[in-house]
């Protein structure tokens, strides 16, 4: 049945070369942990992607209950965590995944750094990777405010003060982030929500696409 559906589509759209391009390629021996166990260090990039997928999915589901408004944000988080079936699991996935993605990304960076895999011709991919790192930090920073509890509020106040200490444009940067010259409040929460849920994920998907296209084009770096 599934085969027939596949054939029906393939006959019209010739999709086999497309998915072959994406999925059908050999893993070189030196990056395959089945051959050399130490090759597990090559898994961190893929694990970062895996956790990122979990983050995107769990985040999508969290927005079914979450409200980015200062009167209701905390209540909605409390409700989805304590009243909704598996709420504590879904929020837990997003909460712990946020830290895990940083850990995995850091290990991936260390591997690339210590193997010298960033060297010519892969410099551009390193640059894109660093941009992904900044986007991830931005996602962590903006996501931290959303539960709207004391820890979130004061962490964001400190973070915005750090942004405000930027030379020359510090004050403008602060107002742009907070949405108000003095108050970390209603407009800050909606801004951070928009940045967390739309702007940064869009940037992240674009950058990750570039990251993966480059690694497929250039191939993985050779054995040490």
- Binding residues for other proteins, rule: CB under 8 A, are 70-71, 157-158, 161, 172, 175-176, 178-183, 185-187
44 or 192: whose CB is closer to other proteins? 192
> Taken in order 185, 186, 191, 197, is the CA torsion positive or negative?
positive
Pairwise CA distance, residues 205 & 197, whole Å: 12
Q: To the nearest whole angstrom, how small is the minimum distance from the Cβ of residue 184 to other proteins?
A: 9
Pairwise CA distance, residues 27 & 116, whole Å: 20
Pairwise CA distance, residues 65 & 185, whole Å: 20
10 or 149: whose CB is closer to other proteins? 149
Pairwise CA distance, residues 8 & 104, whole Å: 41
115 or 187: whose CB is closer to other proteins? 187
Q: DSSP code of 69?
A: S
Among candidate residues 197, 51, 92, 65, the one with its CA nearest the CA of residue 138: 197
15 or 183: whose CB is closer to other proteins? 183
Q: To the nearest whole angstrom, how small is the minimum distance from the Cβ of residue 177 to other proteins?
A: 9
Q: To the nearest whole angstrom, how small is the minimum distance from the Cβ of residue 200 to other proteins?
A: 14
Is 62:91 a contact under the CB 8 Å cutoff? yes
Q: DSSP code of 195?
A: I
Q: To the nearest whole angstrom, how small is the minimum distance from the Cβ of residue 41 to other proteins?
A: 39
Q: To the nearest whole angstrom, how small is the minimum distance from the Cβ of residue 149 to other proteins?
A: 17
20 or 71: whose CB is closer to other proteins? 71
169 or 213: whose CB is closer to other proteins? 169
Among candidate residues 197, 200, 202, the one with its CA nearest the CA of residue 67: 197
39 or 175: whose CB is closer to other proteins? 175
Q: To the nearest whole angstrom, how small is the minimum distance from the Cβ of residue 151 to other proteins?
A: 14
Q: Note the Cα 199 to chain centre separation in Å.
A: 12
> Taken in order 190, 192, 194, 197, is the CA torsion positive or negative?
negative
Helix 186-194 and helix 123-145, axial crossing angle in degrees, nearest 10: 150
Q: To the nearest whole angstrom, how small is the minimum distance from the Cβ of residue 40 to other proteins?
A: 41
């Amino acid at each position: 049945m599934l085969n027939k559906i596949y054939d029906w589509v393939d006959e019209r759209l010739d999709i086999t070369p497309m998915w072959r391009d994406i999925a059908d390629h050999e893993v070189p021996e030196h990056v395959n942990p089945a051959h050399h166990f130490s090759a597990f260090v090559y898994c961190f990039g893929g694990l970062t992607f895996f956790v990122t997928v979990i983050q995107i999915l769990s985040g999508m589901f969290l927005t079914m209950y979450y409200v980015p408004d200062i009167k209701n944000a905390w209540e909605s988080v409390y409700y989805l965590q304590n009243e909704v079936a598996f709420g504590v699991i879904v929020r837990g996935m997003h909460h712990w995944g946020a830290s895990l993605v940083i850990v995995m990304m850091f290990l991936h960076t260390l591997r690339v750094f210590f193997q010298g895999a960033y060297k010519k011709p892969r410099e551009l991919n390193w640059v894109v990777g660093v941009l992904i790192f900044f986007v991830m930090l931005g996602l962590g920073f903006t996501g931290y405010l959303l539960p709207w509890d004391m820890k979130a509020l004061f962490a964001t106040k400190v973070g915005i003060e750090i942004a405000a200490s930027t030379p020359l444009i510090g004050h403008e940067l602060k107002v742009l982030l907070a949405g108000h010259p003095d108050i970390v409040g209603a407009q800050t929460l909606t801004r951070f929500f928009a940045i967390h849920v739309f702007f940064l994920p869009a940037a992240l998907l674009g950058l990750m696409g570039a990251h993966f296209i480059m690694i497929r084009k250039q191939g993985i770096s050779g054995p040490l």
